[in-house]
A = this chain, B = another copy of it.
Amino acid sequence: MLTFTPPGGIEESILDRLNSGEVVIGDGGFVFALEKRGYVKAGPWTPEAAVEHPEAVRQLHREFLRAGSNVMQTFTFYASDDKLENRGNYVAEKISGRKVNEAACDIAREVAGEGDALVAGGVSQTPSYLSCKSESEVKTIFRKQLEVFTSKNVDFLIAEYFEHVEEAQWAVQVLKESGKPVAATLCIGPTGDLNGVSPGDCAVKLGKAGADIVGVNCHFDPMTCLKTVKLMKEGLEAAKMKVHLMIQPLAYHTPDCGHQGFIDLPEFPFALEPRVLSRWDVHKYAREAYNLGVRYIGGCCGFEPYHIRAIAEELAPERGFLPQASEKHGSWGSGLDMHTKPWVRARARKEYWEKLSPASGRPFCPSLSHPDSWGVTKGHADLLQQKEATSEEQLKQLFTKQKEKCCV
């Protein structure tokens, strides 16, 4: 019988854990979960929620902790100063980027103290890079967030969600200035980064930049991310580099994604529901990630606490314990033995859920979509970032462009 208490204490560092072969479970997707809860705006993915509604951010951290997460990542996605100023946001003016980052650190540390978790400070890709600013300008942006993370003494650092490995290398180089362990994940698929650098080459570049852990996050479903990480692993092995592997995929099925991932899907971001992974999909993902040799296993957009719990339950035999949230859950549906209806009690077994192909309930909808592919990349006028909100005129031009390109 597995217990609900992890064997080790919370003292070990992320690298001690990974070096000893321990599984580290990441957390899930803050911006999508908080958007659904009413605290975050899709588009700017407003990290100021940490200041405006700390109770909501805290509660989500706590749920991931109870579900088995060993890492409380600060809710600082898109919280660089240049991003906070972007497209009409009021944060830089009314709150300040520093305060947003500080509040996020404080919440993460508070909840980490409630269980066996480390705090990781996170940075992500910047509008400065996309708008072709210089290396030193971009690094300055990262350095401002790092100052907060250092002063708040986070346990390690994560550079995540980079579409261009070059920017990720810059981020890693800045984060390494702190002396703390650094993880770096790209939001790329098996075809590589937006400049066409292959996953294997990306992994090697990140390792050479100083990353202790490399991998992917966001943009693709677990099966696609596993392929990408496998390519990274092969690249690292070919270069004879020892770097830990990390994976934090979407909780959406995206077999139809092209090079740029789920953002191009017509359903992004407000009609992705039918693609959401079931907990059984997550079981399969966790097992395959483990078998591939990945030991930092988590999730990104779409991952809710119950998805993280499924990772922890799948890997409970290896880890020797279950997460707190499993007190209200039986692995593989076993908790249904208490259901009123006998035919639901009959579903209280692994074989049932493993074989089930869930119906969409949507007979007028297709299985796959054609992703948008406007063929624009870094440097194109349509991609330049601006401080002002998009104007009515700019929007109308986009609407017309869209109608020309597709049928909706």
Contacts and interface: CB of A to CB of B under 8 A. Distances in A.
A395 to B, nearest CB: 6
A267 B358 contact: yes
A372 B348 contact: no
B374 A369 contact: no
Interface string A306-344: 100100000000000001110011100101111111111
The size class of the interface chain A forms with chain B is 35 or more
Contacts of A36: 304-306
Given A37-B63, A221-B361, A275-B361, A390 B345 contact: yes
A264 interface: yes
A184 to B, nearest CB: 20
A35 interface: yes
A238 interface: no
Nearest to A267: B358
Interface in A12-70: 35-44, 46, 49, 55-56, 59, 62-63, 66-67
Interface string A355-366: 111111111111
Nearest to A273: B276
Given A366-B364, A367-B362, A271 B356 contact: yes
A270 B333 contact: yes
A367 B356 contact: no
Given A264-B343, A329-B41, A339-B43, A276 B278 contact: no
Contacts of A264: 341, 343
